[in-house]
Structure 1
Amino acid sequence: MTDRPAPDDRPLVLVSLGTDHHPFDRLVDWIDGYAADRPEVRCLVQHGGTRPPSVAEGVAFLDHDRLGALMAEAAAVVTHGGPATVTEARRSGHLPIAVARDPELGEHVDDHQLRFVSRLDIAGMVRSCASSQQLTATLDKALSQPADFRMDPEADSGPAAAVRYAGELIDLLCSSADTPPQRPLPEPDADVAADSWPEVTVVVPTRDRPELLRRTLRSITGQDYPGVITTLVVYDHDDPDHSLSDDSDDRPVLVLGNTMSPGLAGARNTGLLAAETDLVAFCDDDDTWLPHKLRAQVAVLRAEPETEIVCCGIRVAYNTTESPRVLDRTTVTFADLLRSRLTELHPSTFLLRRDALVHGCGMVREEIPGSYGEDYELLLRLARRAPIRNLPDPAVRVLWHSRSHFTGRWQTVSTALRWLLTEYPEFRLVPRGYARVAGQIAFAEAAAGRRGTALEWALAALRARPLEPRVPLAVAVACGLPADAVLRALHRRGKGI
């Protein structure tokens, strides 16, 4: 048994849950797990109305002076999503590590903490954590790289901050009117030795589509990529099929169950956390890769260390027709994505640096209703940090069919899109982008039979953009035209709502 260091010698992780009377046992359990695994770290939890920790130190309440003294001493500060607690941590010079209370778990009366922490995380004012694994990784980074979690307490207050924020919005509004300069892609290097290509992990979420899944796996293991490709098949709401496992040296396939929130976002995060490689790709279980896809994308990341994600074009397959969808640009910005969904940037084309998510902008957002649009929201967050790179080449075949997960789930679609507008108020600065989302909501509401709400959103879309093309479709569905008929007509041309 190793000697436990004296408490005063250990770095302090201070956790403040504020004074809210709702229990926040989830975060206490996460900190207890961290304290048990890291005895060399002192963990102190101010737990308020929540039960005290069993491994970490605990105190119910701290007066203002004692709390300030502990924050000054702490190596890292973890907070719930209360504005007062977050502000106090920032005033003490810490970049807070924030875990929002979830009303669906009985941790609060509404979702304002989820929305508040999300906005602060996007603005770089906190580091948000949505799982115990993410919290562990973030705390380890805070202790090993303390400078990344310290800040000037005056940096986000006063007139200077307001002027800076206004300037950022003006820059965004101006930049959204122009197409950014297109930086050429690096030339592929044909002389690279096979053993110098990095290993790639591919995360494939799946649910009740065994035949399509096997075809997807064949397209991944059949890549002409010189390096190792490890595929993680993550089963969501389904028993894992371990017969798919393959322990080959250069194309292993591992089978996992979703250990995060049920749904697509949780399944992707399960794979991200299980991955042990710097590069991670996504592929849905009904899509297939062309043989050259991965090699072409990795070549970009090898040549551009600053790039965090590379996408490519797609071929949309619907019934007996196929339509290429290729974005004729190599660089995509945040303003581009506000203006247009750019459906060519499909999640099955994503190749990412794992660290950009796990220790950067955050994991796939599991709180998005039904996980609808989680890929688009992730692109928005990544594009805030650095431009997205794109190969104008249809290297992924995307299958549109009646078994798609969101077929007919109009209430989920509408709720998720309204969530997106709340989380990204910047849409109000880009009328074309706001009208697009409002038109999609109008169509979803009409398809769900809520005619009045559909017409309200249709009017909102028209006010932003009088020629928004989704509005007449939504009105037609509200007047009785079957939504499925509209979608079938669009899908035959490789388009959607």
Structure 2
Amino acid sequence: MNERSIGGTPVVSVVLPTYNRLPLLRQAIASVVGQTFGDWELIVADDGSTDDTRGYLEAIDDPRVRPLWMEHRGDLTSARSAGLKHARSEWVAFLDSDDLWLPGKLELQLHRLAAQPECRWSYTGYSLIDTEGTSLPERSDLLPRPISGYILEPLLRLDVSTPVPTMLVQRSLIEEIGGFDETIPIHSDYDFALRLAARSEVLALPDILTLVREHPDRTTARLRLAELYADQERVFRKAAAATADRKIQVLCLHQCAMQLAGQAAALSRERSHGAAFAALVRAGRIAPFKGAVWRTAVGCALRALGVFT
């Protein structure tokens, strides 16, 4: 399915941010070029790579591949947003430079979306692979099954997972929600998904069409656990403030309390006892009767007293 759209504007813009990942980038781009649907443009937002990424991209003899050169910021969200600003198509897909698509991903998503115009975005099933591309079935089997419809509540409960590389989204919907929030440094992709889910039904394809790579150099793998919890709490707090639905607000605040408790436990293990108890105070104000918060408080207190490490 390689027909080109009339007028020269491609049907799909693919946004791919990268930084110093040339061996994996080659594979990611090959998975786009190998799509059975060929009417796309690929915007590769290079965040100032210092390896041979520039030479590789400049040597690609395919006018559909459009490099975007940036000064280094070390911020995946900024690179993704920069690429998104150059997208011309009705539909936008995203791929990270360490992940892969199976050949029929775009074709199958577009075909099924055409039959369900009420859905303005889609995501697919995915599985996990390691650095060498070897499947990780013991972890992949634990991933939640994709579900369609209005998924804001299950998404907030963490009962569904919508990684950005699995998505295909109407550009007009992205513009309506304001794109990616660059003030959220880590979980901007999850915040993006929440705002999509609050705005439109989604079409979920259970087919495994995306491969997400787990490896030590992945962005989240290099961060402190306390940072991850703090950033996730910020996302839930933002979602609570954005809705007038009391049920959704309560669910968001419950998740805020749980993230703060997780942050406290992580800080306690780092011996940052003052910061741990500050996080627990915030969690207690949100959910004073939540058992998990109190159990965490006991554990933090015992650790601070040196009862256990």
Q: Which has the higher contact order (CA 8 A, sep 6+)?
A: 2
8 Å CA contact 2:148–2:201 kept in 1: the answer is no
8 Å CA contact 1:332–1:387 kept in 2: the answer is yes
How far does residue 231 in structure 1 lie from its aligned partner after superposition?
Answer: 1.2
Distance in 1, Cα, partners of 2:264 & 2:25: 33
1:363 corresponding residue in structure 2? 179
1:419 corresponding residue in structure 2? 234
Q: Which stretches in structure 1 are left out of the alignment for 5+ residues?
A: 1-191, 481-497
1:235 corresponding residue in structure 2? 46
State the AA in 1 paired with 2:291. Answer: P
8 Å CA contact 1:203–1:232 kept in 2: the answer is yes
**Which of 246, 250, 253 is 1:429 aligned to?**
250
8 Å CA contact 2:47–2:73 kept in 1: the answer is no
After TM superposition, the structure 1 = structure 2 runs for residues 85-484 of structure 1, keeping only pairs within 5 Å, are: 194=3, 199-225=11-37, 227-239=38-50, 241-245=54-58, 246-248=60-62, 252-258=64-70, 263-318=75-130, 321-322=136-137, 323-324=139-140, 325-340=143-158, 342=160, 344-358=161-175, 360-368=176-184, 371-410=185-224, 412-425=227-240, 429-430=250-251, 433-446=255-268, 448-454=270-276, 457=279, 460=283, 463=288, 465-466=290-291
Q: How much is the aligned-residue C-alpha RMSD, in angstroms? A: 3.4
How far does residue 257 in structure 1 lie from its aligned partner after superposition?
Answer: 2.1
Number of equivalenced pairs: 279
How far does residue 204 in structure 1 lie from its aligned partner after superposition?
Answer: 0.8
8 Å CA contact 2:5–2:39 kept in 1: the answer is no
Q: Which stretches in structure 2 are left out of the alignment for 5+ residues?
A: 242-247
8 Å CA contact 2:150–2:198 kept in 1: the answer is no
Question: 1:241 is paired with a residue of what secondary structure?
Answer: helix
Deviations 1:434-457 (A, max 9, x none): 454334433543465424433564
2:245 corresponding residue in structure 1? none
8 Å CA contact 1:301–1:307 kept in 2: the answer is yes
Which of the pair has more CA radius of gyration?
1
8 Å CA contact 1:349–1:396 kept in 2: the answer is yes
8 Å CA contact 2:11–2:89 kept in 1: the answer is yes
Deviations 1:140-189 (A, max 9, x none): xxxxxxxxxxxxxxxxxxxxxxxxxxxxxxxxxxxxxxxxxxxxxxxxxx
8 Å CA contact 2:5–2:11 kept in 1: the answer is no
State the AA in 2 paired with 1:243. Answer: Y
How far does residue 312 in structure 1 lie from its aligned partner after superposition?
Answer: 1.1
Question: 1:304 is paired with a residue of what secondary structure?
Answer: coil
Distance in 1, Cα, partners of 2:102 & 2:296: 36
How far does residue 243 in structure 1 lie from its aligned partner after superposition?
Answer: 2.5
How far does residue 270 in structure 1 lie from its aligned partner after superposition?
Answer: 1.1
Q: Sequence identity of aligned pairs in percent?
A: 27
Structure 2 length-normalised TM: 0.76
Distance in 1, Cα, partners of 2:128 & 2:116: 29
8 Å CA contact 1:334–1:387 kept in 2: the answer is no
